[in-house]
Amino acid sequence: MPNVAAVLKDEIRRVARKELKMEIASLAKQSVRHRRDIAALKRKVADLKRQVSYLEKQEGKRIAKSPSNGSAEEARFSPKWLASHRAKLGLSAAAYAELVGVSQLSIYNWESGRSRPRQPQVAKLASIRGIGKREAQRRLDLIGDT
Protein backbone atom coordinates (compact mmCIF):
# COMPACT_ATOMS: atom_id res chain seq x y z
CA MET A 1 0.00 0.00 0.00
CA PRO A 2 2.74 2.50 0.65
CA ASN A 3 3.72 2.00 -2.97
CA VAL A 4 0.24 3.13 -4.16
CA ALA A 5 0.41 6.18 -1.91
CA ALA A 6 3.83 7.12 -3.35
CA VAL A 7 2.58 6.67 -6.89
CA LEU A 8 -0.50 8.76 -6.10
CA LYS A 9 1.65 11.52 -4.59
CA ASP A 10 3.94 11.47 -7.64
CA GLU A 11 0.95 11.71 -9.99
CA ILE A 12 -0.52 14.59 -7.99
CA ARG A 13 2.86 16.39 -8.10
CA ARG A 14 3.14 15.82 -11.86
CA VAL A 15 -0.37 17.16 -12.55
CA ALA A 16 0.22 20.13 -10.22
CA ARG A 17 3.50 20.95 -12.01
CA LYS A 18 1.75 20.71 -15.36
CA GLU A 19 -1.00 23.10 -14.19
CA LEU A 20 1.56 25.52 -12.76
CA LYS A 21 3.59 25.40 -15.96
CA MET A 22 0.52 26.36 -18.02
CA GLU A 23 -0.33 29.23 -15.64
CA ILE A 24 3.25 30.48 -15.62
CA ALA A 25 3.41 30.30 -19.44
CA SER A 26 0.31 32.51 -19.80
CA LEU A 27 1.68 34.96 -17.21
CA ALA A 28 5.03 35.03 -19.02
CA LYS A 29 3.26 35.84 -22.30
CA GLN A 30 1.36 38.66 -20.62
CA SER A 31 4.57 39.95 -19.07
CA VAL A 32 6.29 40.00 -22.47
CA ARG A 33 3.31 41.80 -24.00
CA HIS A 34 3.30 44.41 -21.20
CA ARG A 35 7.04 44.98 -21.52
CA ARG A 36 6.67 45.46 -25.26
CA ASP A 37 3.85 47.95 -24.71
CA ILE A 38 5.88 49.83 -22.09
CA ALA A 39 8.86 50.03 -24.44
CA ALA A 40 6.61 51.37 -27.22
CA LEU A 41 5.16 53.98 -24.85
CA LYS A 42 8.65 55.02 -23.76
CA ARG A 43 9.65 55.48 -27.41
CA LYS A 44 6.50 57.51 -28.01
CA VAL A 45 7.20 59.74 -24.98
CA ALA A 46 10.79 60.30 -26.14
CA ASP A 47 9.54 61.21 -29.61
CA LEU A 48 6.98 63.64 -28.19
CA LYS A 49 9.64 65.23 -25.99
CA ARG A 50 11.82 65.77 -29.06
CA GLN A 51 8.88 67.35 -30.90
CA VAL A 52 8.07 69.65 -27.98
CA SER A 53 11.72 70.68 -27.71
CA TYR A 54 11.83 71.44 -31.44
CA LEU A 55 8.61 73.44 -31.30
CA GLU A 56 9.80 75.40 -28.26
CA LYS A 57 12.96 76.33 -30.15
CA GLN A 58 10.92 77.37 -33.18
CA GLU A 59 8.60 79.47 -31.01
CA GLY A 60 11.61 81.10 -29.36
CA LYS A 61 13.00 81.99 -32.78
CA ARG A 62 9.62 83.34 -33.89
CA ILE A 63 9.26 85.49 -30.78
CA ALA A 64 12.80 86.78 -31.22
CA LYS A 65 11.86 87.91 -34.73
CA SER A 66 8.85 89.94 -33.52
CA PRO A 67 9.24 93.70 -33.92
CA SER A 68 11.03 95.53 -31.16
CA ASN A 69 9.43 98.33 -29.13
CA GLY A 70 11.50 100.87 -31.05
CA SER A 71 9.88 99.90 -34.35
CA ALA A 72 6.44 99.87 -32.71
CA GLU A 73 6.92 103.49 -31.62
CA GLU A 74 7.86 104.44 -35.16
CA ALA A 75 4.92 102.56 -36.68
CA ARG A 76 2.39 104.49 -38.68
CA PHE A 77 -1.33 103.97 -38.65
CA SER A 78 -3.64 103.77 -41.64
CA PRO A 79 -7.40 103.08 -41.48
CA LYS A 80 -7.16 101.45 -44.91
CA TRP A 81 -4.42 99.10 -43.71
CA LEU A 82 -6.40 98.20 -40.60
CA ALA A 83 -9.47 97.25 -42.64
CA SER A 84 -7.43 95.23 -45.14
CA HIS A 85 -5.48 93.43 -42.42
CA ARG A 86 -8.66 92.51 -40.58
CA ALA A 87 -10.15 91.24 -43.85
CA LYS A 88 -6.97 89.30 -44.63
CA LEU A 89 -7.19 87.56 -41.26
CA GLY A 90 -10.90 86.93 -41.82
CA LEU A 91 -11.83 88.29 -38.41
CA SER A 92 -14.87 90.21 -37.28
CA ALA A 93 -14.39 93.62 -35.70
CA ALA A 94 -15.12 92.04 -32.30
CA ALA A 95 -12.50 89.31 -32.74
CA TYR A 96 -9.92 91.77 -34.06
CA ALA A 97 -10.66 94.08 -31.14
CA GLU A 98 -10.09 91.20 -28.74
CA LEU A 99 -6.80 90.44 -30.47
CA VAL A 100 -5.64 94.06 -30.14
CA GLY A 101 -7.11 94.51 -26.65
CA VAL A 102 -9.58 97.29 -27.38
CA SER A 103 -13.32 97.59 -27.88
CA GLN A 104 -15.19 96.66 -31.02
CA LEU A 105 -16.34 100.26 -31.41
CA SER A 106 -12.72 101.45 -31.39
CA ILE A 107 -11.92 99.19 -34.33
CA TYR A 108 -14.95 100.46 -36.21
CA ASN A 109 -14.03 104.10 -35.54
CA TRP A 110 -10.41 103.54 -36.52
CA GLU A 111 -11.38 101.84 -39.78
CA SER A 112 -13.86 104.56 -40.69
CA GLY A 113 -11.32 107.28 -39.88
CA ARG A 114 -13.47 108.88 -37.16
CA SER A 115 -10.69 108.46 -34.63
CA ARG A 116 -7.07 107.43 -34.40
CA PRO A 117 -5.49 104.99 -31.95
CA ARG A 118 -3.23 106.28 -29.21
CA GLN A 119 0.43 105.27 -29.13
CA PRO A 120 -0.05 102.12 -26.97
CA GLN A 121 -2.74 100.85 -29.37
CA VAL A 122 -0.52 101.64 -32.37
CA ALA A 123 2.20 99.56 -30.71
CA LYS A 124 -0.27 96.66 -30.29
CA LEU A 125 -1.32 96.99 -33.91
CA ALA A 126 2.34 96.94 -34.96
CA SER A 127 2.92 93.79 -32.91
CA ILE A 128 0.24 91.89 -34.84
CA ARG A 129 1.16 93.34 -38.20
CA GLY A 130 2.95 90.26 -39.55
CA ILE A 131 0.74 87.48 -38.22
CA GLY A 132 -1.37 85.20 -40.38
CA LYS A 133 -4.77 83.58 -39.95
CA ARG A 134 -3.51 80.60 -37.96
CA GLU A 135 -1.45 82.68 -35.57
CA ALA A 136 -4.34 85.11 -35.07
CA GLN A 137 -6.69 82.23 -34.30
CA ARG A 138 -4.15 80.70 -31.90
CA ARG A 139 -3.80 84.01 -30.05
CA LEU A 140 -7.57 84.41 -29.86
CA ASP A 141 -7.85 80.88 -28.45
CA LEU A 142 -5.22 81.73 -25.84
CA ILE A 143 -7.06 84.94 -24.92
CA GLY A 144 -10.34 83.02 -24.72
CA ASP A 145 -8.81 80.39 -22.39
CA THR A 146 -7.74 82.96 -19.83
DSSP 45-111: HHHHHHHHHHHHHHHHHHHHHSPPHHHHHT----HHHHHHHHHHHT--HHHHHHHHTS-HHHHHHHH
Quote the pTM value: 0.51
Q: Is the pLDDT of residue 74 over 80?
A: no
pLDDT tens profile 97-143? 999 999 999 999 999 999 999 988 998 898 888 888 999 998 888 88
Q: Where does the pLDDT of residue 70 fall: very low under 50, low under 70, confident under 90, or very high at 90 and above?
A: very low
Q: What is the pLDDT of residue 4?
A: 87
Q: Which of 47, 133, 143 is nearest to 102 (CA)?
A: 143
CATH, range 69-145? 1.10.260.40
Domain spans in the chain, listed from the N-terminal domain onward: 1-65, 69-145
